[in-house]
Structure 1
Amino acid sequence: MDTLSDLLRRAGAGDAQVRQLIQRPPWSITYADAPALTVFATLGGQAALRLEDVPSVPPVRLAAGDIALVAHSTRHTISDDLATPPQVLIRDGRKQLLGDPSTHAALEANLAPRTWGDGLPGATTMLRGMFKLRGEAGRRLLAMLPPLVVIPAAPRTGAALDLLAAETTLDEPGQDAVLHRSLDLVLVLALRSWCASLGPADPSWYAALTDPAIGSALDHIHTDPAHHWTVAELAAIAGLSRAAFAARFTQLVGQPPMTYLAGWRMTLAADLLREDAGTTVAAAAQAVGYQDAFAFSVAFKRAKGMSPSRWGRAEAVEAVGEAIR
């Protein structure tokens, strides 16, 4: 499996929801407790997006067909114009109407499944997809992204958005699966488009994924993280000498090959201990390529700041707390 697909899968990016707004201006919506990764797309009309809790990021305007990826921000406002005061506050999945009561009827109208607004001529059509990322893999994915990325309209992303918009209004057997996969497609195409636009001064992780030599080595690590990889073996896969491979890997990935491998193994082990309360330390160690549970525990504590057994207990308590909430 290729590296980006593996990371998206393990981060749980398929656990998603989709909503659509079809509303004439003026309109403004504030999301008060947004998930870690959100996708906005303006299908018709235009919109303005402001991250309330990341003031260092300037507001942006979205034209028809543009996509915005929002990461790290839990409170942001999207509207027809930056000057429009918030009319809707969404918190805990509930909609609170604000401002002029005469506008409330249109803001409450359900036009179709997962779709609301007035649906009248001149309306802006906007899609919002929400990803609930999980565990250390989710945090690793988020660390690769800036708070806000805007991807200009393009034929490939446009076709994916049209499909997602059409499916959003339906309620047929298997609908959730279709929506999740359609939103996954939009996310991956948006990431590809953004990464292809990066310059030399931008994050280099995408250059590592697309580099034939280093990308191949990364794919092998992600396909079989428990294998006893050595620099020499990975260099042979990349078709480079050990020295040339180590230097190029460090340059593109930002850390040496064995450091990356160790960090990825700890990510996998942390999520394994989190997701399965019955996983023993020895089983987690073996799953990520450690034959010695003690050596694994030392490495895990160095990476995560606590022993694997304590990590598992802490995550179990957190999971119970989330279930109660």
Structure 2
Amino acid sequence: MDVLSDAVAAMRVGRPHSSMTRKHAPWGVGFNGAGGTGFHALLKGEAWLVVAGGTVEPVRLGPGDIAFVTHRGGYELVSEPGARAATCRYPSDGGRPAPASPAPAHPVDAGVPSAVLVCGAYLLDESRPHPLLAELPPVVHLAADDAAGEPLRAVLGLLGAELEEPQPGSDSIVASLLDTLLLLLLRTWWLRVRGRAGDHSGWAAALADPAVAAALRAMHSDPVHPWTVGELSALSQLSRAPFARRFTASVGTPPLAYLTWWRMTTAAGELRAPDGVPLRAVAERAGYASEFAFAKAFKREFGMAPGQYRTLRAAG
């Protein structure tokens, strides 16, 4: 199984959305960042990405640049530093953002826009973030001349074409392209971190370590199996103690503790699903023979019973 894909699937909720916009300077848009993760790709012109609080230096975007933003404190995308920005809020269902304040005055003309952008946003469940995604920096900037971004730009071209001239089936195509973009953005970041000299910690190192990655793939592929440290170390071709130390050092938790965490995370995702999977089925898929044992483990992780968790998520 693909651990990166699993990590995204466990956190993704709601509907992704995207848009193509043409701007006439001066312009600016602000985002509150609450629960959202998004990208901004500049097709033409120039823009500046300014993170609230000054924790990250302003990032200049040129034609072909892509910025992937995970900052939760809010940020602005502006034509130039100091430009006024209209703010947007992301609705809880992950739908299209709604203006929260009037847009600044822009020249109204039919001339050539100073900037053309393709933007997209995703809603993530941050109550239980996968540690792989928790390691993301506030902003991942991919410059136009970065060869690693070639697949991204190919998908962006398809997305831009669908947004420019919607055709039958565009809704489904756009949603699929947005999911593809998210995975490509994360994979590009991971490959970049993995390639840095001297970076031997965190999940980037875990996925690059054949022994640890083999154990992670096994647990993600079959979480129901009653894995033991001995079985996982055999898959990793290491003895038990060295394997356990190596896994814990990179993943941040012992192998069986991670297995329990992952089982409960996937179970929580099923409980959030609108189709109402029976608790017995959720328990079995999480590797528990009885609802009672599952409920006890779930309450230990989440502080509430599975049924209560389902009710609260449905209400919220």
TM-score calculated relative to the size of structure 1? 0.82
Q: For residues 67 and 152 of structure 1, do their structure 2 counterparts lie closer, same or farther at Cα, with a shift above 3 Å needed?
A: same
Report the equivalent of 2:94: none
Question: Structure 1 residues 145, 304: closer, same or farther in 2, change over 3 A?
Answer: same
Which residue does 1:269 correspond to in 2?
267
SS at structure 2 position matched to 1:15: strand
What are the Cα deviations for residues 164-202 of structure 1, in whole angstroms up to 9, with x where unaligned? 222221211211222222223332222222222224458
Quick one: structure 1 residues 290 and 196, their matched pair in 2 at CA, closer, same or farther if it must change by over 3 Å? same
Corresponding residue to 1:287 among 275, 279, 285: 285
Q: 1:242 to 1:166 in 2, by over 3 A?
A: same
Query: Partner amino acid for 1:124?
Result: A
Q: Separation in 2 of the partners of 1:248 and 1:298? A: 30
Partner in structure 1 of residue 67 of structure 2: 68
Question: Are 1:21 and 2:21 matched, yes or no?
Answer: yes
- Compared with structure 1, are the counterparts of its residues 193 and 280 closer, same or farther at alpha carbon in structure 2 (3 Å cutoff)? closer
> Which of 93, 98, 118 pairs up with 1:94?
98
Deviation string 1:16-50 (CA, Å, 9 cap, x unpaired) is 11111222322111234665211111122221112
Q: AA paired with 1:49?
A: L
Q: Matched residues, percent identical?
A: 37
1:240–1:202 CA distance, 2 compared to 1 (3 A): closer
Matched residue type, 1:78 = L
Cα distance in structure 2, aligned partners of 1:182 and 1:312: 30
Partner of 1:260: 258
Q: Which amino acid aligns with 2:112?
A: L
Match of 1:46 in 2: 46
The equivalent residue for 1:307 is 305
Does residue 123 of structure 2 align to residue 132 of structure 1? Answer: yes
Shift of the alpha carbon at 1:227? 1.2
Looking at structure 2, the residues matched to 151 and 174 of structure 1 have their Cα atoms a distance apart, in angstroms, of: 30
Letter in 2 for 1:76: Y
Question: Per-residue deviation at 1:313?
Answer: 2.3
The structure-2 alpha-carbon separation of the partners of 1:255 and 1:35, relative to structure 1 and needing over 3 Å to count, comes to closer
**CA separation of 1:119/1:136 partners in 2, compared to 1, >3 Å: closer, same or farther?**
farther
Query: Residues 39 and 68 of structure 1 are in contact (CA less than 8 Å); yes or no, is this contact kept in structure 2?
Result: yes
For residues 228-258 of structure 1, give each alpha carbon's deviation from its aligned partner in whole angstroms, at most 9, with x where no partner exists: 1111111222222222221211122111110
Q: Does 1:5 align with 2:9?
A: no
CA RMSD, Structure 1 to Structure 2 (Å): 2.7
On the 8 A contact 1:14/1:184 being kept in 2, the answer is no
Partner-residue secondary structure (3-state), 1:196: helix
202 and 248 in structure 1: CA distance in 2 versus 1, 3 angstrom threshold: closer
Post-superposition Cα deviations, 1:205-248, rounded to whole Å, max 9, x if no partner, equal: 12212322221221121121111111111122222222222121
Q: Give the superposition deviation at 1:132.
A: 2.2
Question: Which amino acid in 2 is paired with 1:172?
Answer: Q
Say which is worse superposed, 33-42 or 140-149, in terms of deviation. 140-149
Q: Say if 2:67 and 2:142, in contact at 8 Å, map to a contact too.
A: yes
Aligned residues: 302
Moved over 6 A (4+): none
